[in-house]
Structure 1
C-alpha cells in the first residue's frame, strides 16, 4: 500500500447514500478534505426508502459497529428532545430528525434471535427492552429518512464536504486526484473493486400511509411494530411525523425496482391485521428498492490499487442502522494509512 501522511488527506467517498454521507461527515470532522462523488443524490438512493428504525436486521459481521451507531443515534435524538410524547413535527434544519420511539417486536423463532438486545441494554439500560406476550417491547431510535438525509447532506456541506454528481466507472479515474478512496456505493461497490460476487440485491417493497392527527384525520400512530422472523411474510409499521412506512418484502436476487400490485395487497393485508388502525388512514404512495446485501458487511482496506482503498458496503437492510459505526470505523482505517 502506498505510504500516506497520517493527517489531513484528500479523501474521495463514492456514494451519497446514508453510508457515504456518514463517512464523508466523519472524515471531514477528523480534518480531512473530503469529496463525495455519486451518480445519484441521497433522495434517489435506496437509503431514501429505508424504514428506518435502528435495528441490525440481517447484519452479520457488524458487532464492532452496531453499538457505536446506536450510541450516535441516541445522542442525535437527545439533541432535539423530540420524543414522541412531546412533539412529532418540530424538526428544523439544525435538529437531526431522530426520535426515540417505543414498539413491539413479535418473535416467532424458538429460541428467538435476541442478539440485538445486548447493545441496546448496554446503551439504554435494562428497561429499554421488556418481554411482552409474543415478543419484546423496546425503545429504539426512529430515523425520519427523507429529512434525515437532507440534514446529513447539509451537515456535510457545512463541514466543507464537496460534491460531484457523476459516475465513476473505474478507480483508475481517481489516481493522482485523491489520497484515498472510500467505496460506499451499495450494489456498485463490488463492481468498482473488480467484481465482488458476494454482493447481491435483496428487493424490498413498501407502502406509505398518511398519519392521522387523533381527530378527524384519523388515528395518530406513534408506536412501531415489527414481525420479521418469517422473511417471506415480513411486516413492519413505522410511524413517522406525518407518514407511516409499512412493509414489506425480502426477495434475494430480484432486480425489479417497480412496485407490484399483488405484493402491495399482501403487505396491506398483513399490516392491517397487525395494526387495525391502518384501515382508517389513506395510502399515499408505494415504493420498492434493492438492498445491497452481502453475507458479511465489508469494512476494510483493499489492496491492489494505485491508491489506498477502503470498502464500506454490503449493509443490506441495515444501512441506516450501521451508518455511524461504519463511518467511525472508516475514519480509523484512514488513520492507519
Structure 2
C-alpha cells in the first residue's frame, strides 16, 4: 500500500455491526480509510440484557459496548434503565458473570437501552459527516464484492443472515432466530424487566424495554425461535407476549397503554458463535456457482477479507467491542 494513501474499505451489510465497524475504523484512524457501505432494518430490542456468556472474547465485546453505550446517555441516544431479572430457579447470584459490568449489579441493576430507529440513523449521519459513501448494489457473490472493492483493499462481510447465501461464503452454520415484539406507548414503565432466556414454553422470551425516545415508547417481547424463517405476524403469539409482560408489569393494562405496532424480525445467529476473522485472499475470486462477469473481474492482486457476522440476539450489545476487534485485526493485517 502507498504511504499516506487511504485504504479502500467496502462493508457489505449495514446493520449495527457494519455501521459500528465503519465508525470505529474512522475514529481510530481518521485519514486511513475510504469507506463504502449499505442498509438494514432497525427492529431489534437494542438494550443490554443478561445473556449467558462463556467465552472471554464475547465478554470483552460486551464490556466495551456497555461502557460505550453508557457514554451516549447524556446525548439522549441511550437511556439508563433500572432493571430486574426474575429467576424461577435457584441461582448462585455471586457467580453472575455480569455483576461487575452493569451499574449497581445483581438481579436488580442499571443497564441501558437504545431505539434502533433513531440510533442507526445517528450512526449513519455520523458516517456521512466523515465522508462515508452509502451505495445500493445487490451483491450475489463474494467475487462480485471483491471486484467492487478492488485489489489491495479491505472487504468486510457483515451480511448477517446473508452470509448463508452469499456465494463464496455459503456458511450453513448461519441460522435465523425469529423475534416477534410489540411496541406500545406506556409512559408509566421506567425499568427493564425480564425473565431469564429459556424460561417458560420453548420459543418464548419475556422482557420489557423502555426506550429513550419517543417519550413513553416501550418494547414488549417476545420470541426466541431458532431456525424459524417466518416473518409474518402471529396474532396468538402477540396476545401471549402482552399477557406475559402484563404479568410482570400490571400497569400495562392501564387505559393509557396503546399498542403502536408489531414487529417480526430474524436475528442472524451462527452455530459455534460469531465469526470474526481476517485473512489476505487472492483475487479475482471465481465460483462455479456464479461466474464473474467480465466487467467484474478487475485487476489481479489480493484483498483483505474480514468476516464479522453471526451475533444473533447480541448484535447491539456486542457491537462496539466486536467493531474494535475488527478494527485491530484490519490494522495488524495491513501492517504485516
Q: TM-score range by the shorter chain?
A: 0.7 to 0.9
Contact map agreement 1:26 1:328 (CA 8 A) in 2: yes
Contact map agreement 1:204 1:248 (CA 8 A) in 2: yes
C-alpha displacement of 1:181: 0.7
* Greater C-alpha radius of gyration: 2
CA gap 1:247/1:5 in 2 versus in 1, 3 angstroms? farther
Instruction: Count the aligned residue pairs.
Output: 295
C-alpha displacement of 1:4: 8.7
**Selected match of 1:322 from 309, 312, 318:** 318
C-alpha displacement of 1:143: 1.2
Structure 1, unpaired ranges of 5+: 81-94, 131-135, 213-219
Q: How far apart, CA to CA, are the structure 2 residues paired with 1:208 and 1:33?
A: 38
Aligned positions of 1:247-262 closer than 5 A: 247-262=221-236
Q: How far apart, CA to CA, are the structure 2 residues paired with 1:51 and 1:251?
A: 15
CA gap 1:64/1:303 in 2 versus in 1, 3 angstroms? farther
SS of corresponding position for 2:309: strand
Aligned positions of 1:143-292 closer than 5 A: 143-173=114-144, 174-175=146-147, 177-178=149-150, 179-192=153-166, 193-212=168-187, 220-230=188-198, 232=202, 233-240=204-211, 241-280=215-254, 281-292=257-268
Structure 2, unpaired ranges of 5+: 284-302
User: Which structure is richer in relative contact order (CA contacts within 8 A, separation 6 or more)?
Assistant: 1
Aligned positions of 1:305-320 closer than 5 A: 305-306=282-283, 307-320=303-316
**Selected match of 1:298 from 275, 287, 291:** 275
1:46-96 Cα distance to aligned partner (Å, 9 max, x none): xx111121135356641231111111111112xx2xxxxxxxxxxxxxx35
Contact map agreement 2:181 2:262 (CA 8 A) in 1: yes
SS of corresponding position for 2:70: helix
RMSD in angstroms over aligned alpha carbons? 2.2
Q: How far apart, CA to CA, are the structure 2 residues paired with 1:299 and 1:6?
A: 27
C-alpha displacement of 1:189: 2.4
SS of corresponding position for 2:165: helix
1:253-281 Cα distance to aligned partner (Å, 9 max, x none): 00011110011111111111111111121
**So what's the TM-score if we normalise by structure 1?**
0.81
C-alpha displacement of 1:205: 0.4
**So what's the TM-score if we normalise by structure 2?**
0.81
